[in-house]
Structure 1
């Protein structure tokens, strides 16, 4: 089962989109996207229902801020979506959008220096058109690059995040179907173990069922990345579970795999009540939404790397803390 047609649509789209300037961006998007296009992006962009709205509201301002932008992809794959019975085909891209931060964006002050916006994008392709997109991006990481630190000290470390250790994440060619099946099975086994955090095992024992011991969890700014099962349990998974109660079931819109790579996204993935302590924030009796993309690399029968995108701005805003407005208003004068 190959996905060359769908992959080529997205590759051609990126080539034209990345060359376009100003109003040309909307023309490119209208050429590649369906009339009933649905785009989901992190706060403050949220859902948009036309290519024109995405071009004018997201891409044009971003490109005006990050000038001479380059798309630096680390992972690219495609597959059938398990969540609709393997009917639809999606193409996934992950990496950084790099440019010179020359004008403010969302109130974040420019630096005049190189800046990197982590992104991951799922594109549904039907009959040669992109009909649906989930594009998630790490705005808090861009804020920290501009000297605006929006969160208390994180439990793990956040640096510029590399692609796969194996340097083989760009799956432009067809992959053996059995490899994608095995990767999806590994992801599903991990999700099954995760459940509602009630498997009954010690945390490190639970994690060892699905993860290789030298795993790397590449978390977003505000949480950070962590290495090995033992440190992941201490630096993220344990504190995260301790900070939430009444976690809902997982709710994915898309889940797929190709070769040794796979991933999913939800809108939201799950909800939970923040009982206190997550990211140094006070408790709330409100239910918060976690919009998440997870991308995985499998090695052997288990998972070895995981890149995570969480809409922390949306999550905290839902609990009454507007991180973006608060921190950009307090940013140093330019």
Structure 2
């Protein structure tokens, strides 16, 4: 399997380089070269599931590259592994970082700025027989809205900022990693998931988190929630709030989960089904369950986890509850323009 993983990395890395170089018109040729004929793509709302190279090109990559000119991929994590949840032996590659470009044309109703813009992303990609068979790409679209001057959410509990990669800058794993270290990372992640699922034990939240996390952990959350530093602040600014906001929680499992070296992660479609008791991000209580799609990427330091980059498809989570976050581009932008007119 090690050589298969390295081959998968080379395939995906070449795909990314070709995408960066491609003009808008050349994007379909790039997908035809690197992706399978029945390529499947999962993305956050409003893209959701796209079938085939043409759909992915027409509905996602070409419009994005039209809006974010001179688009370049700035990776903080690049790793590969065999899906621990499947027995098909296929290789998966993860890329995480930002897509950076000049925001010269509107995208998804988000008004252009004419300035640099960063679209935070994480993508899981499966490679089968030298071709990209499927991808799951989550993006922090609300983060791009904030950069364009529109904040669609209530005041968040964590910090809003352009998020960096790992503190030790070790996330780009182009070379093969130590298999024992990879297994150790996956084991720590699995133990953390077990701890997380046991919400009825006698430990305090901070004590529970300390089983798997360093005290100076960093939780890099999505726009609308934000980032938190240390167990104490994470418990207050997100984890405790999250747990108290849902009366019932159902874990649906993950599609892919693996680790390489000190890094690992997973994604689900969806990971969780949640029944709101009210209050989470200003949402009301409900007697219905709503799905939450999540990507988590972790860095292990020694025996515990040190950093966690989290991508939640909040557009989809709100959409299920009748709230169109992207529609807020229109009236919030209008309010901003009126305020600017009053000041002048």
Shorter-chain TM-score: which interval?
A: over 0.9
Deviates more, 1:22-31 or 1:238-247: 22-31
Alignment match of 1:26 (pick from 10, 18, 28)? 28
Spell out the pairing of 1:18-167 with structure 2 (5 A cutoff): 18-85=20-87, 87-167=89-169
CA positional deviation for 1:322: 1.2
Contact 1:148–1:328 (CA<8 Å) still a contact in 2? Answer: no
Alignment match of 1:186 (pick from 185, 188, 196)? 188
Q: TM-score, normalised on structure 2? A: 0.95
Secondary structure at 1:140's aligned position in 2? helix
Alignment match of 1:288 (pick from 287, 290, 309)? 290
Q: Which residue of structure 1 aligns with residue 251 of structure 2?
A: 249
CA positional deviation for 1:17: 1.1
Contact 1:196–1:247 (CA<8 Å) still a contact in 2? Answer: no
RMSD: 1.3
2:230 pairs with 1:228: yes
CA positional deviation for 1:330: 3.8
Contact 1:196–1:248 (CA<8 Å) still a contact in 2? Answer: no
Contact 1:70–1:98 (CA<8 Å) still a contact in 2? Answer: yes
Q: Alignment length, in residue pairs?
A: 334
Secondary structure at 1:279's aligned position in 2? helix
Deviates more, 1:199-208 or 1:115-124: 199-208
Q: Which residue of structure 1 aligns with residue 177 of structure 2?
A: 175
2:213 pairs with 1:211: yes
Contact 1:107–1:329 (CA<8 Å) still a contact in 2? Answer: no
CA positional deviation for 1:86: 6.8
Secondary structure at 2:172's aligned position in 1? coil
| Unaligned runs of at least 5 residues, structure 1 | none
| Unaligned runs of at least 5 residues, structure 2 | 339-344
CA positional deviation for 1:201: 1.6
Deviates more, 1:224-233 or 1:189-198: 189-198
Contact 1:195–1:250 (CA<8 Å) still a contact in 2? Answer: no
Q: TM-score, normalised on structure 1? A: 0.97
Query: In structure 2, what is the Cα distance between the partners aligned to 1:139 and 1:295?
Result: 18
CA positional deviation for 1:196: 5.4
Secondary structure at 2:184's aligned position in 1? helix
CA positional deviation for 1:31: 1.3
Contact 1:286–1:319 (CA<8 Å) still a contact in 2? Answer: no
Contact 1:101–1:114 (CA<8 Å) still a contact in 2? Answer: yes
CA positional deviation for 1:281: 2.2
